[in-house]
């Protein structure tokens, strides 16, 4: 409202639109010259500010030395320390905040990570807004980006940046909530049973989305049933009156539906099976995908254009559309949101680099995501396709066969040249050769893979990695 009013008054005069309040203030101060007046017009807002009493209430902590204090922010990085900021000394695989704190702090907090989550949960409860929490074996980050973009067509949305979906990333996101936000879209990952059950309540979600259940983390969980059980922990924390959005085409959906609390509404999406939000007439437009779907069962089918390639991304879009419908958006608003999508990096990211096109899907890999990407390459590539594929981790005892299965799909996808990297990459190469592919090469280092690429590439090739 404020931005629209200012834009109307200033017309074509030079200006910058910066959504984030802090960044906007910093930019205004940066541009100001001597004797300029910087006007900051905002509503009363609650940022991540706390009194000492609130910190104690949130964490159940003890005060070693009684002082009257207020904190204007919560940080875990000593480089962001400033007067009035609460520093939480986290311990993790790559850092130990306690090294930067004194002996008193080490004695004061038996589990600073839990305290950090408790502070974030306290802050989240200050805001009576819908929180959409997303998990699944594949497509979490893409679905998060799509959902935030769809809802963003109608409201101010906070979303998880990149894939900050763990015990530290989730509270970090929630602590950015302020009174501007009308909804939040957050992502929750896991590496074992009980982790989502412990983490999701920090966000106190009203709406939960499970994208699918696949082989990811098989090594850690031992079976598909355990993976499904771990993902279903999100479903179980959605309170009565909330909404759970599930993939109708995934075989574990019925079991998840049964775990919902009473009076939780279940909305399904899919392509093959009967679903509340079902896509039809899917058509590849190169780097875009067109499809139709109704926003209710037996309703009028609306046409949508997704600025992404691939049938797998239609599933992700359907989950986002379902969230939009739950939040009261119409078809036009949903399409606006899809059109404004800003994707996280390294998720089927397409770039033209000189004579070559590069599809960077290297953030993470699993058999499900690799198969989906291979199915999509032919829709995007204009010349030959050259795939550089490496190890998929945490797949358990069946890892060799799962890599071979991916390899068998490579020639079927139209890929002309395969460079397989790593020990398990050798299994991908073997699978491709089983299907008669001849342009198959093994690389034992990144340097060797780069040398092979340099030698094998033709002008106009598309590189997939």
Do 128-339 and 349-464 come out as alike in CATH topology? Answer: no
The DSSP secondary-structure symbol of 79 reads: G
pLDDT, residue 201, reads: 96
Question: At residue 402, does pLDDT exceed 90?
Answer: yes
pLDDT higher than threshold 80 for residue 207: yes
Residue found under tokens 């958006």: 329
The tally of CA atoms less than 13 A away on the side-chain side of residue 274 is 3
Written out in words, the top-level CATH class of the domain with range 349-464 is alpha beta
* Domain assignments of the chain as residue spans, ordered by start: 2-31, 50-118, 128-339, 349-464
Q: What is the pTM of this model?
A: 0.82
Residue 169 has pLDDT above 60, yes or no: yes
**Torsions phi, psi of 211, nearest 5?**
-70, -45
Number of residues written out for the chain: 465
- Asked whether the predicted pLDDT for residue 146 surpasses 60, the reply is yes
pLDDT tens, residue by residue, 259-317: 999 999 999 999 999 999 999 999 999 999 999 999 988 889 999 999 999 999 999 99
Provide the CA 55 distance to its chain's centre, in angstroms: 29
Q: By mean pLDDT, which of 132-136, 218-222, 254-258, 280-284 is the weakest?
A: 218-222
At 326-356, the pLDDT tens digits run: 999 999 999 999 999 998 888 888 889 999 9
Q: What is the pLDDT of residue 311?
A: 95
d(CA 123, CA 228): 30
Alpha helix (H) residue ranges in 180-269? 195-203, 218-221, 224-237, 253-258
Least trusted range by pLDDT, from 46-55, 306-315, 375-384, 444-453: 46-55
Helix, strand, coil distribution of the chain in percent, nearest 5: 40, 20, 40
Among the residue ranges 147-151, 237-241, 377-381, the one predicted with the least confidence is 377-381
Classify strands 385-389 and 417-421 as parallel, antiparallel or unpaired. Answer: parallel
Decide: 333 and 153 in contact? Cβ < 8 Å.
yes
Q: How far apart are CA 166 and CA 181, in angstroms?
A: 22
**Architecture, CATH, for domain 50-118:** 3-Layer(aba) Sandwich (3.40)
- Could you give the CA distance from residue 102 to residue 235 in angstroms, rounded to a whole number? 41
Q: Using one digit for the tens of pLDDT, what is the confidence trace for 416-435?
A: 999 999 999 999 999 999 99
Q: What is the mean pLDDT of residues 78-83?
A: 82
Alpha helices by DSSP H, listed for 85-174, are 103-108, 112-124, 140-152, 169-174
Residues 107-118: what's their mean pLDDT?
Answer: 76
Give the list of residues 6+ apart from residue 172 with CB closer than 8 angstroms, or none: 76, 120, 164
- How far apart CA 306 and CA 310 sit, in angstroms, is 10
pLDDT band at 111 (very low <50, low <70, confident <90, very high): confident
User: Mean pLDDT, to the nearest integer, of 60-89?
Assistant: 84
Which of 2-16, 121-135, 242-256 comes out lowest in average pLDDT? 2-16
- Exposed / middle / buried, residue 328 (Cβ in 10 Å: 0-12, 13-18, 19+): exposed
Distance between CA atoms of residues 274 and 67, nearest Å: 61
The yes/no answer on whether domain 128-339 falls in CATH 2.60.40.1180 is no
Model confidence at 18: pLDDT above 60: yes
pLDDT at 219 over 90: no
Asked whether residue 165 carries a pLDDT value surpassing 70, the answer given is yes
């Amino acid at each position: 409202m404020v931005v629209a009013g200012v834009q109307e008054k200033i017309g074509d005069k030079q200006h910058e639109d910066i959504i984030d309040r802090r960044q906007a203030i910093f930019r205004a101060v940066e541009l100001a010259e001597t004797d300029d007046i910087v006007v900051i017009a905002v509503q009363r807002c609650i940022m991540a500010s706390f009194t000492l009493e609130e910190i104690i209430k949130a964490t159940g902590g003890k005060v070693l030395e009684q002082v009257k204090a207020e904190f204007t922010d919560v940080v875990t990085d000593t480089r962001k320390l400033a007067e009035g900021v609460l520093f939480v000394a986290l311990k993790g695989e790559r850092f130990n905040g306690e090294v930067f704190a004194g002996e008193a702090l080490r004695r004061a907090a038996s589990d600073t990570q839990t305290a950090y989550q408790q502070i974030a949960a306290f802050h989240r409860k200050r805001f009576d807004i819908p929180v959409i929490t997303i998990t699944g074996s594949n497509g979490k980050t893409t679905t998060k980006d799509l959902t935030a973009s769809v809802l963003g067509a109608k409201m101010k949305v906070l979303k998880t940046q990149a894939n900050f979906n763990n015990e530290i990333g989730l509270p970090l996101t929630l602590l950015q909530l302020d009174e501007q936000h009308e909804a939040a879209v957050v992502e929750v990952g896991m590496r074992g049973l009980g982790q989502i059950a412990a983490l999701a309540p920090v966000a106190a979600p009203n709406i939960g989305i499970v994208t699918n259940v696949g082989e990811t983390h098989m090594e850690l969980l031992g079976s598909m049933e355990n993976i499904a059980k771990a993902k279903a922990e999100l479903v179980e924390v959605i309170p009565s009156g909330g909404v759970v959005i599930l993939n109708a085409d995934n075989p574990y959906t019925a079991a998840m539906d049964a775990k919902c609390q009473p009076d939780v509404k279940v909305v399904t999406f899919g392509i093959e099976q009967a679903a509340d939000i079902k896509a039809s007439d899917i058509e590849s437009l190169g780097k875009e995908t067109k499809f139709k779907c109704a926003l209710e069962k037996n309703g009028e089918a609306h046409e949508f254009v997704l600025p992404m390639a691939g049938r797998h991304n239609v599933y992700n879009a359907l989950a986002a559309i379902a969230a939009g419908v739950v939040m009261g958006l119409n078809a036009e608003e949903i399409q606006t949101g899809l059109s404004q999508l800003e994707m996280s990096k390294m998720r089927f990211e397409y770039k033209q680099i000189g004579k070559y096109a590069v599809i960077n899907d290297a953030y993470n890999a699993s058999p499900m995501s690799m198969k989906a990407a291979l199915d999509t390459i032919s829709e995007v590539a204009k010349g030959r396709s050259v795939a550089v594929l490496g190890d998929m981790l945490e797949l358990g005892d069946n890892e060799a066969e799962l890599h071979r299965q991916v390899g068998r799909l490579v020639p079927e996808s139209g890929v002309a040249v395969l460079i397989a990297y790593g020990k398990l990459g050798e299994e991908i190469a073997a699978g491709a050769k089983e299907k008669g592919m001849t342009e198959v090469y093994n690389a034992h280092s990144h340097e060797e893979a780069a040398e092979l690429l340099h030698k094998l590439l033709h002008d106009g090739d598309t590189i997939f990695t």
